[in-house]
A and B are shown apart, each in its own frame.
Chain A
Amino acid sequence: MQVTLKIFRYDPEKDKKPHYDAFKMEAEPTDRVLDLLEKAKGYQDGTISFRRSCAHGVCGSDAMRINGMNRLACKTLVQDLGVNKITVEPILGLPILKDLIVDMEPFFDNYRAVTPYFINDEPAPAKERLQSPEDRERFDDTTKCILCGACTTSCPSFWANDQYLGPSAIVNAHRFIFDSRDKGAAERLAVLNDLFGVYRCHTIFNCTLACPREIQITQAIGEVKKAIATGKLD
C-alpha cells in the first residue's frame, strides 16, 4: 500500500521554527513505523534524525507521537493505525534537540530523584534473599519499565510543569517500594509525598494508555498514594 509519512522537522542549525515534511512510500501493512522512518532516512532524506536501537520495543529509544499519541515507532505497525497518512512528532514536554530527538535529561533527573535502586543495608545471606512467588508477583508489573518516557510525556501534569516527577519515576519507585526485600520505602515515599510527587497526578490515565509495556501505571501511582495515606505496604 501507499502511505504518506509526515515528519516533524526541526534543525537547530538551520531552522528558526519547526515544519513538517511529507514522504510518500510503499509499505506493507505489517511494517513498523520505524521501518518507514528508516526507509525515508535511507532513501529519501538522510537528514531525518531519530533515536532507535532494538527495533522490537525493549530498549525504549523511539518513543514519539504517532498520529497524535505516544507510542514506540518499533511497536506500531502500519495496520495498527488503520490509516495511510502517518504523522510522527516528538514527544511533548521535553526540549526538542533535532527532529524527533528530545532532551531526555529532565526525564532522567526525575528518575534519579526517587532513589531508583535496591536499598537493604542488612548483611546479605550467603545465598539469595528469599522471596515468595506472591511477594515477587506484587511488584512484577513495574519491573517491566524500559524508561522510554512515553508515559511521562503524555501526562498533562508533566506538560504543565516538568518539576512533576512524572509517572515513570513513580513507577520505578513503586518497583522498589513494594519489593519485600527492600528497606528504602520510607525514603522514597517521603520524596513522593511532596508537592511534585504523587499529588500532581490527577488520574488522567494518558500514561497507562501510552505505556508500550502495558504497565498499569495509574494503578501503581494509586497504590503509592494509598501507601502514603495508610502507611501500609501490602
Chain B
Amino acid sequence: MKTHQFEVIVVGAGGAGLMAGLYASKTAKTAVISKLYPTRSHTGAAQGGIGAALGNEEEDRTEWHTYDTVKGSDYLGDQDAIEFMCEEAPGIVYELEHMGLPFSRTAEGRIAQRPFGGHTNNETGVPVRRACYAADRTGHMILQTLYQQCVKNNVTFFDEFQVLDMIVVNGKAAGVVTIELATGELHVFHAKAVIFATGGYGRVWEITTNAYANTGDGIAITLRHGIPAEDMEFFQFHPTGIYKMGILITEGVRGEGGVLINDKGERFMAKEEYAPHVKDLASRDVVSRAMYLEMKNGLGIGGKRYLYLDVRPETVNKYAALDGRTNPDGTPYTVTADDILSRLPDIIDFCKTYLGVDPVVDPMPVQPTAHYAMGGIPTNVKGEVVIDKKNTVMPGVYAAGETSCVSVHGSNRLGTNSLLDLVVFGKQAGVNAAEYARGTDFQPLPADPAGPAREQLARLRNSSGAERISTIGTEMKAVMFDHVGVFRTEAGMTEAVEKIRELKERFKHIRLDDRGTVFNMELLNAWELGNLLDIAEVTAVSALTRRESRGAHARDDYPERNDKKWMKHTLAWLQEDGVKLDYKPVTFTKYEPKVRVY
C-alpha cells in the first residue's frame, strides 16, 4: 500500500473534474484521480451545446435563460443557484473560448448558437438560439480543451486509479482510498479536501446514452458515509436515442429543424395535448412522455416501440415553412443536405455506422433513452456538500458535475445546461476547495485507512456463490427500465424495489473468475455493480414515495404536479435496513410556480 499527500483531491476527470482540478491546482497542491484516462470521460459524448445567453445570433438575456431553467426544472430547481449559473454562463463560455475551444462560428466570427429544447425568447415564446456549439461535438471539445489546459498547467493526474472509498475523520474529509488498475495495489491519498466529480449513473437502466463507466461511484461512496442523495427519482429520459442501442441523437437535430413523426406520418408534438407552441422543441420530459403515449396508443412505427426522427431537408423545410420559422435576418429558414451534414456530422456518422441509415435520405428510428441524473450528492452554490435538510456543510467534501445536485436542474434539466453546470460549479468547487485547504490542517489518518475498501474487495473476490454479475446487472437494468422509466406506476415501482432487494441479496453470492491483481476488471465491474444496485434502490424508493408527477418523474396514478405537498427536495439515506427519506425546501427568489405549457 502506498500513501500520497495532496491538499486537494479531485475524483473524476470529466468536464467537472478537470475544471475543478484546473482551478484548485492554481493555489493548492492538487491531484486529479480518474478511473479512465481523462479524455475517455463521458463528457466527451455530449453533442449539442452549452447554454449561455450571449445573444450572438439574436437578442437574448440572462434573465430569460434563468426563467427557462426554472420553468424547465418544473419549479423544483433552487432559484438562487439557477440565477448564479445563468449569470456566470456568458463569462465562462468566453473563458472556454479563450482556452482555445474551437466553437463553430457565425459569419461575423462570433461563437455560433443554435436553438435547444425549452430555451425561449420570453417575450415572444419562440425558441431562441442559446446553445453555443462546436458542430455536434461540443462535449468532446470541452473535454479536450480542459484536458489540454491541464497539460499546459502541469496538473498532476493519477490515470486509471479507481476511488473505492473516502476517508472521513472527525466528520471531515481526510482523503480517499484508490486501487491502481494496472497493479491492483491500494493507494491512500491523504488530503484536506475531496471533490467528487464522478459523473452520472445511467448504467442503472437498460437503454441508456451513458457509458459503461457511468456507475455513480461518487454517490455510492458518499451514501456509505451517511451522506444523503438528493432528488434521485428525477432521472431524465432523452426522447431521441437510437432504437435498441440508446446512443444519443442530440436535441440539436430538432434545433436544426428535425421533427418527430409517428406511424401515421403525423408530427405529433404539435398536438394540443403535447406542445402546440414550441412543438418538437419542448423540454425533454414533455417530449419523452408524448412519445411514450404515442407508442402506448399503438402509433409507434409499425406498432413497435420506436418513432421516427426526421431531419431530411424536405421535411425540415416543409415544417419550417408551416411554422413560419425564420433566420435571424428575417428570411425564411431553409436547409440543404449539406447544411445538415456540416452541422451534425457525428450524428450522421452514428446512424450510418450503427443503423445503416443516412439521415439525409431516411428518417431515424428513435426511442426515449436513460440519459441524465438530475439528482446526486447534495451541494450548495459553492460546491460544498450539504448533508441534511438544514443544508449543514460537511467540511472538506465537495461535489460537482452530474454526480452533484445543486440543484439547478430540479426535476428536469434543459439541454445544454449540464455542460454549463459542469464548468460553472466545477470551477466553484475547485476554487473553494483550494481555499478551504489553505485555511485548514490535515486530519490525522486512521490506523488502517484502506481497511474498509480492502474488505469490500475481499468480500467480492472471495464470494463463492454461483451468480454471474452480468446476469444480475441485466436483470437490474431491465426492471429499472420497465418500471422506473419514463412512466411509473405504484405497482411497477413496488415490484422494482422488491426485485432490487432480491438482486442485492443474490449479489452476495456471486462468483468471479478473475483472481488476479493486474487489471482485474471483473472485480471492479462487480464493485461498480454493487454501487448501481445501491443507487437503483435509492432511486426506486425515492420515486415510489413521491406521489405526484413533476418533470422527469411521471406517474400514471398521480398525473398532476402537487406543489402543496411535493414542492420539496427528496433526501435519501441508505441504511442497513433500507432507504430513509427526508425532505428539504426549495429555494425561491422571484419566480412563482405556474402551470408549465410549451
**Is the Cβ of A118 less than 8 Å from the Cβ of B247?**
no
| Contact with A112, one of B102, B151, B211 (Cβ below 8 angstroms) | B151
A11 to B182, CA, bound (A): 12
Shortest CB-to-CB span from A16 to chain B, Å, is 15
Chain B residues with CB under 8 A of A230: none
**Is the Cβ of A143 less than 8 Å from the Cβ of B141?**
yes
Q: Which residue of A lies closest to B153 (CB)?
A: A117
**Is the Cβ of B105 less than 8 Å from the Cβ of A117?**
no
Given A59-B45, A117-B148, A182-B100, A128–B94 Cβ distance below 8 Å? yes
A176 to B148, CA, bound (A): 11
**Is the Cβ of A53 less than 8 Å from the Cβ of B42?**
yes
**Which of B33-41, B70-78, B565-573 lines the interface with chain A?**
B33-41
B530-555 near A? 1/0 per residue, CB < 8 Å: 00000000000000000000000000
Shortest CB-to-CB span from A210 to chain B, Å, is 15
Instruction: Decide if A49 is an interface residue (CB 8 Å cutoff).
Output: yes
**Is the Cβ of B522 less than 8 Å from the Cβ of A128?**
no
Q: Which of A87-106 contact B (CB under 8 A)?
A: 97-99, 101, 103-104
**Is the Cβ of A11 less than 8 Å from the Cβ of B518?**
yes
**Is the Cβ of A53 less than 8 Å from the Cβ of B36?**
yes
Given A77-B353, A116-B148, A136-B102, A49–B39 Cβ distance below 8 Å? no
Given A46-B522, A47-B514, A47-B516, A56–B107 Cβ distance below 8 Å? no
Chain A residues with CB under 8 A of B106: 133
Chain A contact residues, majority secondary structure: loop
**Which of A1-9, A37-45, A158-166, A188-196 lines the interface with chain B?**
A37-45
A132 to B100, CA, bound (A): 14
A140 to B108, CA, bound (A): 18
A120 to B353, CA, bound (A): 38
| Contact with A30, one of B137, B354, B468, B517 (Cβ below 8 angstroms) | B354
Instruction: Decide if A13 is an interface residue (CB 8 Å cutoff).
Output: yes
**Is the Cβ of A129 less than 8 Å from the Cβ of B98?**
yes
**Is the Cβ of B140 less than 8 Å from the Cβ of A146?**
yes
Q: Which of A146-190 contact B (CB under 8 A)?
A: 146-147, 175-176, 179, 181-182
**Is the Cβ of A118 less than 8 Å from the Cβ of B94?**
no
Given A77-B353, A130-B110, A46–B140 Cβ distance below 8 Å? no
Instruction: Decide if A144 is an interface residue (CB 8 Å cutoff).
Output: yes
| Contact with A58, one of B140, B212, B469, B514 (Cβ below 8 angstroms) | B140
A207 to B317, CA, bound (A): 39
**Is the Cβ of A75 less than 8 Å from the Cβ of B100?**
no
A145 to B137, CA, bound (A): 11
**Is the Cβ of A43 less than 8 Å from the Cβ of B468?**
yes
Given A118-B148, A147-B39, A45–B513 Cβ distance below 8 Å? yes
Instruction: Decide if A219 is an interface residue (CB 8 Å cutoff).
Output: no
A20 to B350, CA, bound (A): 31
The residue among A11, A131, A175 with the most chain B CB atoms within 10 A of its own CB is A131
Q: Which of B493-528 contact A (CB under 8 A)?
A: 512-514, 516-522
Q: Which residue of A lies closest to B41 (CB)?
A: A59
Instruction: Decide if B213 is an interface residue (CB 8 Å cutoff).
Output: yes
Given A53-B212, A143-B141, A129–B39 Cβ distance below 8 Å? no
Instruction: Decide if B149 is an interface residue (CB 8 Å cutoff).
Output: yes
Chain B residues with CB under 8 A of A43: 468, 470
A129 to B95, CA, bound (A): 10
Instruction: Decide if B104 is an interface residue (CB 8 Å cutoff).
Output: yes
Shortest CB-to-CB span from B464 to chain A, Å, is 14
Chain B residues with CB under 8 A of A54: 40, 42, 44-45, 211-212
Shortest CB-to-CB span from A206 to chain B, Å, is 21
Given A53-B42, A55-B211, A176-B100, A117–B152 Cβ distance below 8 Å? yes
**Is the Cβ of A131 less than 8 Å from the Cβ of B109?**
yes
**Is the Cβ of A116 less than 8 Å from the Cβ of B45?**
no
Shortest CB-to-CB span from B498 to chain A, Å, is 24
**Is the Cβ of A12 less than 8 Å from the Cβ of B40?**
no
A101 to B36, CA, bound (A): 13
A6 to B580, CA, bound (A): 48
Shortest CB-to-CB span from A55 to chain B, Å, is 6
Chain A residues with CB under 8 A of B42: 53-54, 59
Instruction: Decide if B23 is an interface residue (CB 8 Å cutoff).
Output: no
| Contact with B105, one of A101, A126, A136, A147 (Cβ below 8 angstroms) | A136
A179 to B354, CA, bound (A): 32
Shortest CB-to-CB span from B63 to chain A, Å, is 19
**Is the Cβ of B148 less than 8 Å from the Cβ of A132?**
no
The residue among B104, B182, B521 with the most chain A CB atoms within 10 A of its own CB is B521
Chain B residues with CB under 8 A of A98: 516, 518-519
Instruction: Decide if A52 is an interface residue (CB 8 Å cutoff).
Output: yes
**Is the Cβ of A77 less than 8 Å from the Cβ of B513?**
no
Q: Which residue of B lies closest to A116 (CB)?
A: B148
Chain B residues with CB under 8 A of A50: 521
B128-160 near A? 1/0 per residue, CB < 8 Å: 000000110100110011001101100000000
| Contact with B517, one of A13, A60, A118 (Cβ below 8 angstroms) | A13
Chain B residues with CB under 8 A of A51: 40
Instruction: Decide if A70 is an interface residue (CB 8 Å cutoff).
Output: no
Instruction: Decide if B103 is an interface residue (CB 8 Å cutoff).
Output: yes
Shortest CB-to-CB span from B547 to chain A, Å, is 36
**Is the Cβ of B518 less than 8 Å from the Cβ of A117?**
no
Chain A residues with CB under 8 A of B107: 132-133
Instruction: Decide if A124 is an interface residue (CB 8 Å cutoff).
Output: yes
| Contact with B518, one of A12, A146, A175 (Cβ below 8 angstroms) | A12
21 interchain pairs, CB-CB under 8 A: A41-B470, A42-B470, A43-B470, A47-B516, A51-B40, A53-B42, A53-B211, A55-B211, A56-B350, A58-B346, A60-B40, A97-B518, A128-B111, A129-B98, A130-B108, A130-B110, A135-B109, A136-B102, A146-B44, A179-B100, A181-B100
A-B interface, 4 closest residue pairs, ranked by CB to CB distance from nearest = A118-B100, A42-B470, A46-B513, A130-B109
Q: Which residues of A contact B (CB under 8 A)?
A: 11-14, 30, 38, 41-43, 45-47, 49-61, 75, 77, 97-99, 101, 103-104, 108, 112, 115-118, 120, 124, 126-133, 135-136, 139-140, 143-147, 175-176, 179, 181-182, 214
Extra contacts, 7 of them, besides A54-B45, A117-B100, A117-B152 (Cβ < 8 A), are: A57-B350, A58-B45, A59-B40, A77-B353, A118-B149, A132-B109, A146-B44
